[in-house]
Structure 1
Amino acid sequence: MGQAGQTAPPEQSTVPFTVPSFAGEVSDAVVKVLDSGWVTTGPQTAAFEQDFADYLGAAHVVAVASCTTALELCLRAMDLPPGSAVLTPSLTFCGAINAILHAGHHPVLVDVDAGTLVPGPAEVAAAAARRAPAAMVVQNQGGYPVDVAALAEAAGLDRTRVIEDAAHGPGAARDGTPVGASSYAACFSFYATKNMPIGEGGAVATSDQEFADRIRATRLHGMSKDSWRRYLPGGSWRYDVKNLGLKANMTDIQASIGRAQLTALPEWQRRRAELVARYDEALSGLPGLVLPQRDLDGVQHAWHLYQVLVPDRDAIIAELEAAGVSTSVHFIPASHMTAYREILGEEECGAVPVTDRVAEELLSLPLYPGLSSDGQDRVVSALAGALRARG
């Protein structure tokens, strides 16, 4: 194990785009669950929900199978009329668009600000003018915390109709309030590449008890009691299904990993910030390079991603790969995807010109707690060489 409870990556000839970190206590935590005889949703899941709520400062947390299912569960719990318009960035992961469609609603694409890579009030207002929304999904792209109140006002929506896609959000804050702390609905991801990796898994943080109870039921088919509560001493095998739900629960094995990972998260976030500062200093002034926007009043970035804009992006990716540096792109916009173009139509997909432009220049550089200074220096050297060769 490396320092701060993270797994040191093996020596490699390439610099990976990401390597998941695991706290030293993870293996013991999983063995304890296996030895307990209860591996699905149960006491560890409940304990993880409380631990994560305490970390965020949230009133309620409900653990689920993924951030994608969290988004869909939240949309279902809002009881919107079928086919409702739901605002969403086009610059997002396909799962977020699928969640809207699977919930029976219609995505309305929102453009982004070229600096922050998230929609601002002007972009939201423009999308809402095309079609009045019943709800909105806002995304903390790369770990940048959006101003939910300002975006809700621009959309003409109450906060109870705004869902925060906080898949990149753990560690982010705005005006001193952590993402998810006071949200009506904030959805988190614990996928293998995320700031707090479990492998798979997600969670909904909410300030509303009734909303939390609805999510808790619909994550397991809509059953009024999960199996753990049915088999507790004094429990009953009887249950009801009052609303249709999904199979979207988290297991105790995942939850035990999450509880261990949560103890290491603050140190991992410190290391991410340290790596970002090194990138900033080393990459500043390179020709054609646009660094991520930060240092705005009240914004604490989670730095899930270090996203830059570069000219001739695809060729630069190939040159970095040849130099032993792996990169990625976040994201291919929904408006560029075949299925969504067929569903939404050419006019809707053509309504996000800034997204279309930055999508051709976006590049995510390696950023993870186990990235060594030497590895980062290789990234900088390869990127600087590629950019300087273009003058």
Structure 2
Amino acid sequence: MVMNIPFARPYITQEEIRAVTEVLKSGWLSMGEKTVMFERAFAEYIGSKYAVATNSCTSALFLSLKVLGIGRGDEVILPTFTFTATANTVVHCGAKPVFVDIDEKTYNIDPDSVEERITDNTKAIIVVHYAGQPADMRKIMKIAKTYGLKVIEDAAHAAGAKYENGKKVGALGNLTCFSFYATKPMTTGEGGMITLDDGYLADKLRILRLHGISKDAWKRYLENNSWYYEVIEAGYKCNPTDLASAIGLEQLRKLDWMNTRRKKIAEYYNEHLNDLDIILPYVRPKIESAYHLYPIRLVKYNRDKFINEMAKRGVGTSVHFMPLHLTRFYRKMFKYKKGDFPVAERVFRSIVSLPIYPQLTERHLEYVVRCVKEILKPR
């Protein structure tokens, strides 16, 4: 019997539904008290002094670059092996994205490649914690300190993950950006968060995320219904809603449990797929991954054919990611070409992600494993 197992599914329970209903009944739907509560709870969870909520991780990355003063003529180093939003935000700031290759075991940014690409125009490094596994921040921070560079962590995959020192991701770089998109370790439907320890930058982020005005509607409401605000900068519309933040508060309470479930699913795959001609995910010692993705690499079997065969059996898969230097825009705009980053290209040709989310039961996992074996190891 063919089962229907989608690639990803958000874990939503009655708690989230009740939280949204309460907000709907309250009459305050946009950014307000729930967002303030969510920011405080998330900062406490991460161990950062401040957290600033946004309407997406893309907005979080863009605002982070803006408050660091990244602009025209500047260069920002980042891995080519990431979702396009990471690089797009650099372009929207008027700066140049400078791609580097990845480590072939972890698929994270290769620190040695970073140092090779630094110029007088380099202002920042964006580190992507691929699949939920923290990158080698010790080496990255050392390089940043040596050359006087800022570090932004793209932790879209890594809510709840931990570095080697036991601290949660979000506590080392100058700013860390999280995603709460529907497929991420925790979700608000759409949404993001920036964690940081710099109070000046936190205040500036709050101003920039809502038109550049001095007081949002919630603050004006609290201050004796004073309508007055000042326009401090030409800001943006990047704020979340209380509907999203209410979901986020409930998801945050479940995050550690959800990450543990994903880890157990990864361990099941590791145990039952280790006799196949594939490369299983590698996790560095001493860190804790959020296990957002379970990417395997096919050694001999065609990747696209494998995806089609899995789809015939009702199992969703995906590819993370096409290296950005191979995409049309970045080839044309910045003259990147095939062969520039051989490790990322080699990984891309063979990589495919299997389903990994809390609702998967042992029966589901048995079926996924059976389908993989039917395709790769036919009788």
TM range (shorter): over 0.9
Relative to structure 1, is the Cα distance of residues 158 and 190 closer, same or farther in structure 2, using a 3 angstrom cutoff? Answer: farther
- More displaced, 187-196 or 144-153? 144-153
Q: Does 1:73 align with 2:55?
A: no
Relative to structure 1, is the Cα distance of residues 273 and 368 closer, same or farther in structure 2, using a 3 angstrom cutoff? Answer: same
SS in 2 for 1:300: coil
Q: Does 1:307 align with 2:330?
A: no
- The alignment yields a C-alpha RMSD, in angstroms, of 1.9
Partner residue of 1:259?
249
2:365 to 329, 354, 376: 376
Contact 2:3 2:313 in 1 (8 A): no
- More displaced, 37-46 or 222-231? 222-231
Relative to structure 1, is the Cα distance of residues 183 and 125 closer, same or farther in structure 2, using a 3 angstrom cutoff? Answer: closer
Distance 1:332 1:282 in 2: 27
Contact 2:70 2:93 in 1 (8 A): no
Q: TM-score, normalised by structure 1?
A: 0.92
Partner residue of 1:107?
97
Letter in 1 for 2:157: H
Partner residue of 1:199?
189
- More displaced, 63-72 or 227-236? 227-236
Q: Does 1:118 align with 2:91?
A: no
**Cα deviations across residues 274-316 of structure 1 (Å, max 9, x unaligned)?**
11110110011312x001111x332111100001111311111
Contact 2:2 2:313 in 1 (8 A): no
Relative to structure 1, is the Cα distance of residues 35 and 79 closer, same or farther in structure 2, using a 3 angstrom cutoff? Answer: same
Pairing 1:30-45 to 2, within 5 Å after superposition: 30-45=20-35
SS in 2 for 1:200: coil
**Cα deviations across residues 247-269 of structure 1 (Å, max 9, x unaligned)?**
00010110011111111112111
Pairing 1:1-391 to 2, within 5 Å after superposition: 13-128=3-118, 132-154=121-143, 161-174=150-163, 175-287=165-277, 289-294=278-283, 296-310=284-298, 311=300, 312-346=302-336, 350-389=339-378
Letter in 1 for 2:140: L
Gaps of 5+ in 1: 1-10
Task: State the shift of 1:117 in Å.
Answer: 0.2
Distance 2:87 2:146 in 1: 20
Task: State the shift of 1:153 in Å.
Answer: 3.0
Partner residue of 1:6?
none
Alignment: residue pair count: 376
Distance 2:187 2:372 in 1: 27
Distance 1:350 1:66 in 2: 32
Q: Percent identity?
A: 39
Task: State the shift of 1:159 in Å.
Answer: 7.6
SS in 1 for 2:58: helix
SS in 1 for 2:157: coil
Distance 2:343 2:145 in 1: 23
Distance 1:42 1:238 in 2: 17
